[in-house]
Structure 1
Amino acid sequence: MKTKTLKANKVSVITLGCSKNLVDSEDLITQLKGNEYEVAHDTVAKDTGIVIINTCGFIDLAKEESINTILKYAQVKSKGGIEKLYVTGCLSQRYKDNLEEEIPEVDAFFGTLELPRLLKTLEADYKYELVGERVLTTPSHFAYLKISEGCNRTCSFCAIPLMRGGHVSKTIEDLVKEATNFAKYGVKELILIAQELTYYGLDIYKKRALPELLRALNSIDGIEWIRLQYAYPSKFPMEIMDAMLELPKVCNYLDIPLQHAADPILLAMKRQITLAQTRQLIHDIRAKVPGIAIRTTFLVGFPGETEEDFEVLCDFVKEMRFERLGVFQYSHEEDTSAFLSEDNIPDEIKAERAQRLMEIQQEISLELNHAKIGKIYKVLIDKKESGFYYGRTEFDSAEVDNEVIIDASSNYCSIGGFVDVLIEDATEYDLIGNVIDLNPN
């Protein structure tokens, strides 16, 4: 028996997974608000009538979180807490038939490219005039700019093409329009995301066009930082580094997931690159842009990974001394080519290898951060919490990298503003400092 009144036009959008999913949710929210829906993100009020869950299906942990979230709101619905429950995103794209059978409480499931159909189900129009507009769920001073959808790569462990389809670039004109709108509303940092940045433009311009896009974005008034995330290492176009060197707004930062270093594993992963080529690429990037911060990720526990293979990876990390590094444990994904191999590395070995690799990186990160003590950095202030400001240098992306911590009792900062900070102390993953005035009266 229902004991409260639910608003049929009040929607909550719950986002799980990566920044690309977040952009999809922001597009959905924008369209719903354009249809006069009342929309909240990642929060459900007592009178919310509709919940839409944007799911992730990348690896086992992400799938588990998505399923648990769906089950949670299915139970809320069964008790009369909401009227309608819809599910969209990668998990829904990949396992729609199974989910419909297992969780009948969900009113409808939608794939990653079915926003118009989802809106139609809600009796809302897809408003083309809102394309290029986007309601941001991030802090107002930075925004993710998704420059393409999908991926044409064939990495043996990755299910993304199954969920997102092939690579489709947005036009430079559309992206400039979107970024210009962001700047009007106070966005200072653009974080360029895609499944594969270096492939940008090949489908529509018949050439790699990321440098041209960067030049166009660099000219937008109000944008001060442009950050690159998710580049593919094989046949990496060094013209990107030329643009980074040339354009003042492009941060000296590159996220380039390498996944492994041992040649047998790189071959089995279908990464189209060798250890020697990877080593040379990192040297070339650092020679082209001195002081660049390179973020990478590695995958441990891939089928057939021997202790010797793992030691090659550890030695490579020690040699390269990456500024930022993340580690994933291999997840055996149906319909990928790696799924044909036996998942023969026990979970405890995967976890132990991930821990060992992060311990190596932790020591490297501490040494690199200690070397910053006594230096001054331009810092973008993200937030204030518990008496401290938290910000980032150009060498750190939002959500995943180091932060600069500033005592609010002895410093004043504006959220979303830039300050110059003298670094006075450091931990493995944070810098600690005080604001200084480089232009005193």
Structure 2
Amino acid sequence: MATILPSPPKVGMVSLGCPKNLVDSERILTKLRADGYAMSADYAGADVVLVNTCGFLDSAKEESLEAIGEAIAENGRVIVTGCMGKEAEVIRTRFPGVLAVTGAHQYEEVVGAVHEAAPMPPSAFLDLVPATELKLTPRHYSYLKISEGCNHRCSFCIIPALRGDLVSRRPDAILREAEKLVAAGTRELLVISQDTSAYGLDLRHASYPLKGGGEVRAHMTDLSRELGKLGAWVRLHYVYPYPHVDHVIPLMAEGLVLPYLDIPFQHAAPAVLKRMKRPANDAKVLERLRNWRSIAPDITIRSTFVVGFPGETEADFQYLLDWLDEAQLDRVGAFRFEPVEGAAANDLDGAVSEEVKEERYARIMEKTAAISAAKLEAKIGRVLDVIIDEADEDGGATGRSKADAPEIDGQVFLRDAPGLKPGDFVRVEIEDADEHDLYGVPVA
């Protein structure tokens, strides 16, 4: 007689915020899958819904609260985790019906809350461990988190209060995870943390044994070199421009690491950087950019900047625009300063009006769009390596060059590209460009 297995409880997930949060969501769901839970793609089919929140900015907090409210309205059984878990009282005051509230990367606590809210039926057959970790990104690229927390105390940021000080993972553990991801089909590894350049500092850059023999040091340069041997694209995010970053550039010239750095400069005017409590040697940064480009001419530098920071004068802002003219960064995002509860910047004088913030935001975006358009126009006629993200049955496809990270940078739109599938690498002749994207055709 056939054994009828009880249906396992289903878990829904709403994941908000940065890629680091996405990795947390993947780990939580992987553990729940290993415990036998099934996943639900909608509210209606879920026995409990997890909302992984973002709490970096007030606007992000409001988005998180709206997501919690929607989950409660649609399902009613909600567990909250993530960065806003630090504000459990705020969440419970607004939504007294939430089942549990846990903080960022508290995996065991949130999994325990799920077990309590939706217990597994007793069955020896439901405890099935998946062969690989559950992924929330497409199969061909994966975020690889190398550390948690941050030792910086930037005046506008509350990340250390939310996620604590720097805690680095062992490099051998990171490499084992990367190897499994590549074996499972990952073609691009996106290295993330709060401060990638500081990786291994808390481990005193100690060396750890590798599975096949030898050792690897807990240091960004050494880890990048080992990751580059796995055969996938390796893209570095959230890199503070410490002096040792210079040693990563030759790895880019060798082809071990993508010629791409995501560096959060935040501003260029020394007075503003000082109030932000960030390094303020902008002239040395320009010199280093020139040196990097001499070693790896195709290097792409992306960054983000804050406009309207307390005390930012028109002269400070013009200084930033002039600096951008010299720096010629490839990809730039900008944010209007937004007070965040608990941030030291809230106590600074010289508040900038919302009207001025909007005007400066428009000017910096106009400036950086023009720089981007000129840089992309210069690529017309070149043949670039492209990784495919999407393909249709009519011969159209969308991908990214080495200069483009998923979801935040531009894309490459292909014509006459039949038979491609996500994860394929293809050589593409660039035929046209606009402010953000490239257009081309595959070449043999």
- What is the TM-score of this pair, normalised by structure 1? 0.90
Please tell me whether residue 61 in structure 1 is matched to residue 59 in structure 2.
Answer: yes
Task: Give the secondary structure class of the aligned counterpart of 2:259.
Answer: strand
Rounded to whole Å, the distance in 2 between the matches of 1:297 and 1:203 is 26
The C-alpha deviation readout for 1:373-397, integer Å capped at 9, x for no partner, is 1110111000136953110111111
1:168 matched residue in structure 2: 167
For the 8 Å contact 1:233–1:273, the answer to whether it is kept is no
- What CA distance in whole angstroms lies between the structure 2 residues aligned with 1:143 and 1:111? 24
1:282–1:132 Cα change, 3 Å: farther
State the distance in 1 between where 2:247 and 2:129 align: 33
Residue of structure 2 aligned with 1:72, choices 70, 73, 77: 70
Pair 1:25 & 2:25 matched: yes
User: Does the 8 Å CA contact 1:234/1:273 hold for their aligned counterparts?
Assistant: no
What is the match of residue 272 of structure 2? Answer: 265
| Residue deviations 1:271-308 (CA, integer Å, cap 9, x gap) | 12322222223223223322201011111110010111
- Note if 1:91 corresponds to 2:89: no
Choose the corresponding residue for 1:415, options 402, 419, 422. 422
Matched position secondary structure for 1:334: coil
- 2:261–2:300 contact (8 Å) kept in structure 1: yes
What is the Cα deviation at residue 114 of structure 1?
1.7
2:252 to 239, 244, 251: 244
Residues 391 and 421 in structure 2, CA contact (< 8 A), matched pair in contact too? no
- How many residue pairs get matched? 416
Counterpart-to-counterpart distance in 1, 2:18 and 2:237: 12
Return the match for 1:217 from 227, 246, 251.
227
Mapped partners of 2:344, 2:248: distance in 1 = 31
**Do 1:132 and 1:174's aligned partners in 2 also have CA atoms closer than 8 Å?**
no
> Could you tell me whether the CA contact under 8 Å between 1:13 and 1:54 is conserved in 2?
yes
Matching residue's letter, 1:48:
A
Q: Which residue number corresponds to residue 328 of structure 1?
A: 335
Q: After alignment, is 152-161 or 330-339 more displaced?
A: 330-339
SS at match of 2:408: coil
Q: Measure, in 1, the Cα distance between the counterparts of 2:392 and 2:278.
A: 42
Name the stretch that deviates more: 7-16 or 313-322: 7-16
* 1:234–1:272 CA contact under 8 A, matched in 2: no
Name the structure 2 match of 1:426: 433
Q: Give the secondary-structure state (helix, strand or coil) at the position aligned to 1:237.
A: helix
Give the counterpart letter for 2:441 in structure 1.
N
- Matched residues in 2 for 1:132 and 1:182: separation? 11
Q: Can you give the 5+ residue segments of structure 1 that lack an aligned partner in the other structure? A: 1-6
Distance 1:265 1:58, change over 3 A: same
Aligned equivalents of 1:46, 1:75: Cα separation in 2: 11
SS of the equivalent of 1:250 reads coil
Which sits farther off after the overlay, 116-125 or 8-17? 116-125
Give CA-to-partner distance per residue, 1:305-362, whole Å, 9 cap, x none: 0111000011111221111111011111222221211471112221221111011111
- Corresponding residue of 1:254: 261
- Deviation (angstroms), 1:234: 4.5
Give the % identical residues: 37
The residue number in structure 2 matching 1:395 is 403
In 2, Cα distance between equivalents of 1:149 and 1:181: 21
Cα distance in 2 for partners of 1:376, 1:171 equals: 38
Structure 2 residues without counterparts, runs of 5 or longer: 1-6, 120-127, 207-217
Change (3 A) 1:386 1:333: farther
Quote the Cα distance in structure 2 between the aligned partners of 1:354 and 1:276.
23
**Letter in structure 1 aligned against 2:429:** L
3-state secondary structure, aligned to 2:277: coil
RMSD: 2.1
Match of 2:144 in 1: 145
For residues 351 and 131 of structure 1, what CA distance do their matches in structure 2 show?
Answer: 48
Q: CA deviation at 1:115?
A: 1.2
2 CA distance for matches of 1:14 and 1:331? 24
Deviation at 1:131, TM superposition (A): 12
State the Cα deviation string for residues 82-107 of structure 1 (Å, max 9, x = none): 4x2000001122x1222222210211
